[in-house]
Chain A
Amino acid sequence: EAGVVQSPRYKIIEKKQPVAFWCNPISGHNTLYWYLQNLGQGPELLIRYENEEAVDDSQLPKDRFSAERLKGVDSTLKIQPAELGDSAVYLCASSLGDSIQFFGPGTRLTVL
């Protein structure tokens, strides 16, 4: 069974440029999460979806970050414009309801 798929795995951009990350969750998982992981830190939740609905986006910096999950399956996280401090790993996870979360490999973003 395929796990959570994320792309790209690595992205290098200059500050003020836009960037987008894509996530395909485990088949059948209705809940999808985007996390931010800084170096030497644990993942921190950015946004949680239940099907198409964003049920917790309290930690998403809405001035520059946006996310969507239009058909309740794949999701895209966007940053526009990117800042130096956005350099981090962006992790996607999925679960069946509130059960165990399975993580993808992450997208490592470097903003120059």
Chain B
Amino acid sequence: QKEVEQDPGPLSVPEGAIVSLNCTYSNSAFQYFMWYRQYSRKGPELLMYTYSSGNKEDGRFTAQVDKSSKYISLFIRDSQPSDSATYLCAMMGGATNKLIFGTGTLLAVQP
């Protein structure tokens, strides 16, 4: 079993839709949770960063962490074609403090 599981998609939604992206994990030592966005042929760029459980909002983006369920989510409101990219969840914590990524979810927002 992988430490971080993420549905690879692809996910296709119409412009303006609410998008929900999710990851589950098995390592209870993870304390830092991140979402990266990766456009085609580009490096990952940090979108959201959360420490421990709770919600964090930044414009159209909301990140949620539920440590009791080992489940994290990213919500995108009023999705735009420019949001079309691969979204990678990542987390770290514990003795190694290594950043572990999910496989990424490919999102396409149709105009």
Residues of chain A at the chain B interface (Cβ within 8 Å): 4, 40-45, 48, 56, 91, 93, 98, 100-106, 108
B96/A43 in contact, CB under 8 A: no
B46/A98 in contact, CB under 8 A: no
20 contacts between A and B (CB under 8 A): A4-B43, A41-B103, A41-B104, A42-B102, A43-B88, A45-B98, A45-B99, A91-B43, A98-B97, A100-B46, A102-B46, A103-B36, A103-B44, A103-B45, A104-B43, A105-B41, A105-B42, A105-B43, A106-B43, A108-B41
A42/B103 in contact, CB under 8 A: yes
Residues of chain B at the chain A interface (Cβ within 8 Å): 4, 6, 8, 34, 36, 41-46, 49, 88, 90, 96-99, 101-104
B residues near A104, Cβ cutoff 8 Å: 43
A/B pair count, beta carbons within 8 Å = 44
| Residue in A40, A41, A101, A106 whose CB lies within 8 Å of B99 | A101
B90/A103 in contact, CB under 8 A: no
User: In the complex, what distance in Å separates the CA atom of A96 from the CA atom of B101?
Assistant: 20
A residues near B8, Cβ cutoff 8 Å: 40
